[in-house]
Amino acid sequence: MQRKPLIAGNWKMHTTIDEAESLAISIMESGLPGDRDVMLAPPFTAMKAVSQAVAGSGILLGAQNVCWEEKGAFTGEISPIMLKDAGCTMAIIGHSERRHIFGESDALVNKRVAGALKFGLVPVLCIGEKLEEREADKTFQVLEDQLRKGLEGISQEGADNIVIAYEPVWAIGTGKTATVDQAQEVHLFVRSLLADIYEKNIATGIRILYGGSVNPKNVDDLMGQEDIDGALVGGAALDSTSFSRIINFKVT
């Protein structure tokens, strides 16, 4: 099965509304190949402005998090209905910064995934190991635990609408990156695990992204791997020239 590549830019806690709008327009005007998807995840305050700026371009709009409820007494959260109203179609869930800085558990991540699906958003479920876990040869154990718990109760139909992002915590914002072989090994493991949780044809269709210091210099090699279907990009997504080069990766 041919999986359409997805290049996603996570802007994290960066950009004012004007800055976000300008960045989105620069990315849009740099040229977007038709054989791959591009998603931008600006801060919530800039989401509507970015949505309007890229309207008609084919760029997808993603959120950096999402609550599982439509509305209610959830101070500081944002509902899937609010996100969809702003033009959002995807949501990053379980990012390592949410897990390790804000203490989000696998159970909470699972609630967010289920909530996103319930209201028609595509979850981008993030999983990844810390450096000490990799050094202790616990990478696969950690990833299996996060993936099984994150997808608990999610049906095969729901799984058809999920994106997985593997982001080794030790490679996020550090300038370090997993080697191509390391990344492919993990992506193959994740796909095999998805086949065990669901079935092979479901696993074959799920896009698995690599995240962790993706940049213009390493994207071609990463995207040349059989089980790497895209990239979740942080720092390099804040520069339109760098992000455009990543979007326009070339597999030789």
Residues (pLDDT < 70) of the chain are 1
Q: What pTM was estimated for this model as a whole?
A: 0.96
CATH architecture of 6-247: Alpha-Beta Barrel (3.20)
Residue among 21, 104, 167, 187 flagged as catalytic: 167
Asked about 69 being catalytic, the answer comes back as no
Asked about 167 being catalytic, the answer comes back as yes
Q: Which of 178, 165, 163 is nearest to 215 (CA)?
A: 178
Residue among 21, 95, 97, 129 flagged as catalytic: 95
Measured between alpha carbons, how far is 136 from 247 in angstroms, rounded to an integer? Answer: 34
Quick: pLDDT tens for 205-232: 999 999 988 999 999 999 999 999 999 9
Q: List phi, psi (to 5°) of 24.
A: -60, -40
Quick: pLDDT tens for 173-200: 777 778 999 999 999 999 999 999 999 9
Report long-range pairs for 171-176 (Cβ below 8 Å, ≥24 apart): 171/212, 171/213, 172/96, 172/97, 172/128, 172/211, 172/212, 172/213, 172/234, 173/213, 173/234, 173/235, 174/213, 175/213, 176/212, 176/213
Domain boundaries, the chain: 6-247
Q: pLDDT value at position 104?
A: 98
Quick: pLDDT tens for 44-62: 999 999 999 999 999 999 9
